[in-house]
Structure 1
Amino acid sequence: MPFFLPMLLLAQAYDPEIEAVMNRSAKQKQEERAAAAAAVPAKAAAPAREDGRIPVPAKYAAPFQACLDQAIESPDAGVAFAQKWRIEGGSFYARHCMGFAYARAERWTPAIVAFQQAAEEAERSGEMAQSARLWAQAGNAALASGDAAKARDEFDAALARGLPDGLEKGEVHLDRARALVALGDGAGARDSIDVALEQAPRDPLGWLLSATLARRSGELPLAQAHIARSVQLSPDDASVALEEGNIAVLTGHEDIARSAWTRAVRLAPDAPAGKAAADNLSRLPASKTAG
């Protein structure tokens, strides 16, 4: 394999976590978080379920779901619903929905404030797990706004409130790692991503970010192992395929790199990952590309 190829790859400004991890759809992320809270009605003291969802008390479940539905249909209608419900006694669930509605509109500053206020109100009510979840929501809104430092602080606040072991804790550590990557703190990101992999081992994005961090730091055996896990969990993700190729070419497996990049182009030709993969393919020697 020509020496210049890995050097060109290492010089690229694009890395797959920019699209797949750092810039994960803000609306999708907020909807995932809201859906995790909008579970079946149950007693307020109900424990977390295996999927990480904490049931909403019956008193709040129906209006909370109605508020989320309004926000999805129209963010302004969701804000109005939440404001009225808050006055009528909607507790921190009303503020939670307000933050969700603002996030749907990509109005990140009021979304952060609403989630922070909801988290503080939940804590005053003794709902520490709910408070932790809402601090995490505030962190994702801050990350979507481009304020990685604030996001890190919000995720730290979420973890300080305590979450049970499992998927939810892992997701918060993954989000914290995203913020630390944006801040250029590779060592801190590695610490959080290692916890995320332990707590949420079936999240392919965790393995993708881990593989990319390992590649950046020159830990290629670790990068190979972790990208293989990400490919296993998400074989049709163009960003995963791109990183698989990046790691393969740096470890002398040009045939695997070509196959992975070709798959990335096929899966998402117009996305940043697909375009980066196409560019990488164009840098392969013409004779090999033709063969």
Structure 2
Amino acid sequence: MKPALILLLLAAAPALAQETYDPSLDPKRYDGCVRAIPTDAQKAEEFAIQWQALGGGLPARHCQALAQLQQGRNAAAAVTLSKAAQAAEAQKSPMAADFWGQAGNAALLAGDAKGAVTYFSSGIVAAGEFAPVRSANLLIDRARAHTELADLGSARADLDKALALSPAEPAGWLLSAALARRQNDLPRARTDIAKAAELSPADADVQFEQGAILAASGDIPAARKLWGQVVTQAPGTDAAKLAARALNEAPAQ
């Protein structure tokens, strides 16, 4: 038997077609659609598509994209989110930048870094000069996409802009440190990771990068100690997996 949420969706879909569409119910429709995704993402997507056809607009598109992501259909989600962003821009909605950013992240998940750059760039334009934190986050995301494309110069330019706009964002300092290490600029890497650690001292990703910078600087014992802490304190995370691999590859001293 299907869970109650899915039964509600199945019942609601015909009702949408039979009744005069009432947009005031959209918040409830969105909540039900999103809550159904973990249980039956395909059915939630079908509901969202029918909802769109009747005037569901941005909430329906967003639920559809979330359902596609749940199914691992990341490229499709990126397209859906980009259409939502375009619709938001046409409506002069402040959500446009967020939708572009989500489209970019979905494209990255799909392995389309070039498409992600395009989406993030549109988001930066949509955010404008009056939303510095939002613009900084989009610049950080675009830097990740540039890095995937091995365009390190563009990644550095984006990160430097992001740090100027939002110097209290630890993710920017972390990515800046990692990029500096990749570019063999260890003084910059040490400075930036120290700032990231000051802002987010318990972050496992920051601790892993601290270890990587120590290893690149020749201090293998200190690097191994930090990586060991990540494995112990953040089990199951991507940082812990990277730290475990680094421990296996680094020489014991």
Same fold (TM > 0.5): yes
With structure 2 as the length reference, what TM-score do the two structures score?
Answer: 0.79
Q: Residue 228 of structure 2 contacts residue 244 of structure 2 at CA under 8 Å; is this kept in 1?
A: no
The equivalent residue for 1:284 is 252
Secondary structure at 2:95's aligned position in 1? helix
* TM-score, normalisation: structure 1: 0.69
Most deviating of 64-73 and 146-155: 64-73
- What amino acid is the match of 1:275? A
Structure 2 segments unaligned to the other structure (5+ residues)? 1-22
Q: Tell me which residue corresponds to 1:267.
A: 233
Q: In the alignment, residue 168 of structure 1 is paired with which amino acid? A: R
Number of aligned residues: 227
Distance 1:240 1:273 in 2: 12
Give the match's secondary structure for 2:146: helix
Cα RMSD (Å) of the superposition? 2.4
Cα distance in structure 1, aligned partners of 2:158 and 2:135: 11
Segments of structure 1 that go 5 or more residues without pairing to the other structure are 1-56, 286-291
Aligned to 1:95: 61
How many percent of aligned residue pairs carry the same amino acid? 35
Deviations 1:89-126 (A, max 9, x none): 21122112211211121112321221122122222222
Distance in 2 between the 1:209 and 1:251 partners?
Answer: 18
For 2:230 and 2:167, the matched residues in 1 are separated by 23
Q: Secondary structure at the match of 1:283?
A: coil
- Corresponding residue for 1:152? 117
The CA deviation at 1:222 is 1.4
Match of 1:25 in 2: none
- What displacement does 1:244 show? 0.8
Q: Distance in 1 between matches of 2:67 and 2:242?
A: 30
- Mapping of residues 1-291 of structure 1, within 5 Å: 60-127=26-93, 129-163=94-128, 164-251=130-217, 253-268=219-234, 271-280=240-249, 282-285=250-253
- Looking at structure 2, the residues matched to 203 and 261 of structure 1 have their Cα atoms a distance apart, in angstroms, of 23
Partner-residue secondary structure (3-state), 2:158:
helix
Q: 1:269 to 1:135 in 2, by over 3 A?
A: closer
Offset at 1:159?
1.3
